[in-house]
Amino acid sequence: MHLPDEFLSSGTAAGFAGIAALAVGLAVQKVRSAFMRKIPVLKARLATFPDTGASRSMNLQNRLSKLGQEKVWRMAAVGALVFSAQMVNFPIGEGISGHLLGGTLAALILGPLEALLAMTAILVVQALIFADGGILALGANIFNMGIVGAIGGYSYFRFLTRDSRKVGMNFWLSAFVAAWLSVVFAAIAASFEIAWSGMKPFLTALQAMTLTYILIGLAEGAITVAVLALLYRKKFPLETLREEKIYAKE
Amino acid sequence: MVLAAAFVVGGYVSLLASSSPDGLERVAEAQGFLMFSAQPAEGILTDYQMPGVDDAALATSLAGMIGTLFVFGALFFLGTSLYRIRSEDEEGIL
């Protein structure tokens, strides 16, 4: 699923790089405020004789909250897990294999924006160190696997469960379908990018990509549900099950 | 625990990976535009193989664990540096 540079025209690559940069920038900002906690700090000022109160004015300082520290650990660990899981290609037919994309999985564990950051880190490491996915095509790959994969998958899940936090049959089924959909939509996005780059007519690319990734998506759904079930049994805090809003409005 | 699992998957389970081209590569091959990426891409650990290690399994395993470490490190650094930037701002005001 990692597009190499050669599959994309420079215009397409640049356009998606812009979209990805914007989205990742926004995600960084939102996630940062979710990690922080404002604590009042006494301002150190000289006291004035007719006490104006200036010496005791409070100042709000941002500190990484306890929850934030845990979230940093969790985000890094889940990112590492998704990276290594992406290495494991499973055969889906004669001479053809697929691997986990993990966007939906990461989003259901971490929350959609943390997942976007995790996917971005994974894709950057893959492009820079492993030459898996082009460096110029990074934006398109972040779009496909981070935005369409993670944020998309999270939205389908929320829609399918009707925002319920109950863990039951519907929960697991929705996770499966959301993961499957996210892969199919990522493949459709990749077909658009290939077609816009003038590589193939859109419908040809779309047909081949969708047919392939409908199959790979089934495995994605199965792995997503399996990993979620394991983490749920081990009482790993899943962001999807939290009642409160993840991102505080600033 | 999750991090440990990541290392196990990257270092060991990755050895069981199929070497067939993945979905996108296969589509590109079948439709005749894979040749556009004919020249092997230059990377430090291209194709998830540690250079200079003869044993293919060991090379994959090492590459997997290094990659896992890099992703973890990058995200951890990102997470903690988000905090640092903000607190320095605040100290400047004080």
Judged by CB atoms closer than 8 Å, whether chains meet at A72 and B76 is answered as yes
> Domains in chain A, ordered, with CATH?
5-240 (1.10.1760.20)
Q: A112 vs A99, A105, A128, B17, B51, CA distance in Å? A: 21, 10, 24, 28, 36
pLDDT in tens, chain A (250 residues): 888 888 888 899 999 999 999 999 999 888 877 776 666 655 555 566 666 655 555 555 566 667 777 888 889 999 999 999 998 888 887 788 889 999 999 999 999 999 999 999 999 999 988 888 888 999 999 999 999 999 999 999 999 998 888 888 999 999 999 999 999 999 999 999 999 988 888 888 899 899 999 999 999 999 999 999 999 998 888 888 876 665 654 4
Assign A63 to helix, strand or coil: strand
The ipTM (two decimal places) reads: 0.79
Compare CB distances from B70 to A68, A71, A125 and report the shortest one's residue.
Answer: A125
| CA-based torsion, A86, B10, B61, A136: positive or negative | positive
Whether B6 has its CB under 8 Å from any CB of chain A: the answer is: yes
Question: pTM for this one?
Answer: 0.85
Are the CB atoms for A133 and A141 separated by under 8 Å? yes
3-state class percentages of chain B: helix first, strand second, coil last, to nearest 5: 70, 0, 30
Question: In angstroms, what separates the C-alpha of A20 from chain B's closest C-alpha?
Answer: 17
> How far apart are alpha carbons A150 and A147 in whole angstroms?
6
